[in-house]
Amino acid sequence: MKPVLLVANLVVVMAGVILLDQTAPRAVAYNLVPLPASMITLPGKMPINKNFNVHLTGYSEPRLKRAIERLKVALSEQTGLPLTNQEDSWDQQVILTIQCDHASASVQGIADDESYKLIVTTDQAQLTAPTPLGVLRGLETFRQLVERDQQGFAVSAMVITDHPRFPWRGLLIDSARHWMPVDVIKQNLDQMSAVKMNVFHWHLSDDQGFRVESKAYPLLQKLGSDGDFYTQAQIKDIVEYARDRGIRVIPEFDIPGHSTSWFVGYPDLAGAPGPYSLARSWGIKDPVFDPTRETTYQFLDVFIGEMAGLFPDTFFHIGGDEVNGKQWNASASIQAYKSQHGMSSNAQLQAYFNQRIDTILGKYGKTMIGWDEVLTPGIPSDVIIHSWRGQKSLVQAVAQGHRAILSSGYYVDNDRGLFTLYQNDPLEGAAATLSDDQRKLILGGEACAWTEHITAKQIVANLWPRTGAVAERLWSPEADKDDASLFHRLGYDAPSKKKSTPFNGTPHTIPGTIQVEDFDNGGEGVGYLSFVQSNAGKYRPKEGVEIENCADTGGGHNVGYIAQGQWLNYTVDIAHAGTYTVASRVASGLDNGGSFHLEDEHDRNLTGSIAVPTTGGWQKWTTVTTKAVLPAGKHVLTLVEDTNGYNLNWVTFTAVEQPKANEQP
């Protein structure tokens, strides 16, 4: 006889309908990420022991059976109990019963139902969901609820009713700049599954590499990849691996810019004659597709058709960002084409290119996604706008009837603070003024892991568990914004900005200059805070921060994308007390710039807020100055970031005047 679940006084069975007491308080003490939509705690716990087994009823498919086996393997590893290879039989004690109503769509989409309900009593649990996707999400919740107490492993009794806030909860991984092997991609897919993210946006081509095998155009990978690319068999394997975990795979092939790797093997596609070689540095490059030749579209038609067979998802990302237009401006034939077709700007030329690509994508049943720059007059309304430049672009897109995705504020490759990620919301800021119908066009958001400064060895530790903050923001109710709770649930120790900083090597001297290069050698007395758990409170390792060569004649290095709430510590030896001019070399490519201030080891603000103006680019520098009164001796000075959005190159301290005798600074 199949077991019937009864949940204390909170559950009443009436004609097969379970009614819950919704007045029970919401609990947040469990290590769940993301928090569910509704959670009601009950007395007692359900033990996890050697009798644990899972039974699936209703709709079944191999994907669900594999998910159940993964759960058993995970719990076996956690508990040490022999839970694997058990037969699904009612002759054994069944602890978790799963009821799935019907199949999901054959190709996962944004309309799919991911909801589920989980009821746990002191002796059994029941997971019900309309579709396999809901089952997958509920199994991750169940796995996270298993904890150890004095009696062993158990799950607290509770009732969870859950569904996502947004249908698009993505992670972009850039395999073009630094190569990411298949096993690394799968590790990240596992992490995404654990926090209920459902879109893997795969950046597969850029100036530094073309990463997919094309049988139609083999020189793409032969000459454009340095030998590091995914075979078509590997692509299909990863797509299936992701689907097993309820994750869609959306490819991005960046066109018409960020496209040098295409032209190494096929230079005739470019807006200027070759030959071409792969880029070995970062930034915006000149090579760009020639949008005036029919052969360009013939080539891309064949290529997109080939890729459509590898990536079944409805959506196809074309990039479309950061085209500087230099090749177009220098080409007499392209300028003549613009004139003949009444185009007065490169933006109009790119809009024409995008419209042609949209037609090709439609031929293969695909819907275009592009970065902010594709939002131009005439672009079809079904094109999805992916905003990397901010809420303003997001609002412009939905105001024109486009669906949109937010990535601004979700860059996880740049050491952006955990709290900054968590508080960033697609429906707040400028989006708060939208109508209800317009807000529905915002599909969600996407964390971005660009890999200019992240290698395959670093990416998992760099992204996780910090990306869980983005996952929770996109799944959980908008009201869930308890930073301390999230910090605890992600497994971090509480951050402390004022940890002691040892005097290693020779301290910096003031008067003098602190260079960003000092981050590269921990012996200089430079301390820092990172929200990556493995780095917190330690000297910054070389790979733990974005250290870049300055691109202009200023020389040296810069630390980029400093996030709100982060800080940089400097151990200094101040020659004498007095007033100092503090000059900082900074850059910002954002519309609103940034700001920071200088503190001492007693948390005193020595400078007030130091504003970083917009300089028009991350490598276009200016110097900002203020004054600070400093005491003599060895001290720890802290640069505290008030807002994100700037790069820092160096800080110089110049004496203005010394205090008179017996005068205290």
How far apart are the C-alpha atoms of 528 and 641, rounded to whole Å?
A: 12
3-state secondary structure of 42: strand
Q: Record the pTM.
A: 0.76
Please pick, among 147, 322, 452, 543, the residue that the annotation labels catalytic. Answer: 322
Q: What is the pLDDT of residue 488?
A: 83
Is the model more confident about 480 or about 649? 480
| Main-chain phi, psi angles of 286, to 5 degrees | -75, -35
DSSP track, 535-550: GTTSPPPGGGS-EEE-
List, for residues 56-77, the tens digit of each pLDDT value.
999 999 999 999 999 999 999 8
- Give 566's pLDDT tier (boundaries 50, 70, 90): low
Q: Which of 198, 187, 158 is nearest to 32 (CA)?
A: 158
| Main-chain phi, psi angles of 542, to 5 degrees | -60, -35
- Give 573's pLDDT tier (boundaries 50, 70, 90): confident
Instruction: Give the least confident one: 35-39, 167-171, 258-262, 528-532.
Output: 528-532
3-state secondary structure of 259: coil
The pairs formed by 489-492 with CB atoms below 8 angstroms and a separation of 24 or more are 489/28, 489/30, 489/31, 489/32, 489/33, 490/33, 490/418, 490/465, 490/466, 491/31, 491/465, 491/533, 492/418, 492/531, 492/533, 492/536
Q: Which of 156, 334, 314 is nearest to 249 (CA)?
A: 314
| Main-chain phi, psi angles of 579, to 5 degrees | -95, 135
- Give 587's pLDDT tier (boundaries 50, 70, 90): confident
List, for residues 134-145, the tens digit of each pLDDT value.
999 999 999 999
Q: What is the pLDDT of residue 498?
A: 36
* Ranges of H-type helices in 468-558: 468-475, 483-489
CB neighbours of residue 528 within 10 Å: 24
How far apart are the C-alpha atoms of 158 and 352, rounded to whole Å?
A: 56
Average pLDDT (77-81) is 88
- Give 653's pLDDT tier (boundaries 50, 70, 90): very high
- Give 527's pLDDT tier (boundaries 50, 70, 90): very low
Contact between 582 and 627 under an 8 Å Cβ cutoff? The reply is: yes
Q: Which residues contact 131 (CB under 8 A, 6 or more apart)?
A: 100, 101, 102, 103, 104, 112, 113, 114
Token code pair at residue 353 = 């290119």
Q: Which of 232, 235, 285, 298 is nearest to 256 (CA)?
A: 285
Average pLDDT (160-182) is 97
Q: Which domains does the chain have, with CATH numbers?
A: 11-162 (3.30.379.10), 168-489 (3.20.20.80), 508-657 (2.60.120.260)
List, for residues 199-257, the tens digit of each pLDDT value.
999 999 999 999 999 999 999 999 999 999 999 999 999 999 999 999 999 999 999 99
How far apart are the C-alpha atoms of 275 and 283, rounded to whole Å?
A: 20
C-alpha pair distances (Å), 61 with each of 114, 194, 353: 16, 21, 43
DSSP track, 185-242: HHHHHHHHHHTT--EEEEEEEETTEE-B--SSSTHHHHHHSTT--B-HHHHHHHHHHH
- Give 535's pLDDT tier (boundaries 50, 70, 90): very low
Q: Which of 114, 93, 97, 100 is nearest to 49 (CA)?
A: 93
Query: What single DSSP character describes residue 565?
Result: T
C-alpha pair distances (Å), 205 with each of 61, 220, 257, 291, 318: 35, 10, 10, 18, 10
Q: What is the pLDDT of residue 251?
A: 98
- Give 3's pLDDT tier (boundaries 50, 70, 90): very low
Contact between 5 and 126 under an 8 Å Cβ cutoff? The reply is: yes
Annotated catalytic residue 322 = yes
C-alpha pair distances (Å), 519 with each of 197, 251, 367, 650, 653: 34, 35, 44, 11, 18
DSSP track, 282-322: -S--S--B-TT-HHHHHHHHHHHHHHHHH--SSEEE-----
How far apart are the C-alpha atoms of 37 and 26, rounded to whole Å?
A: 9
Contact between 397 and 387 under an 8 Å Cβ cutoff? The reply is: yes
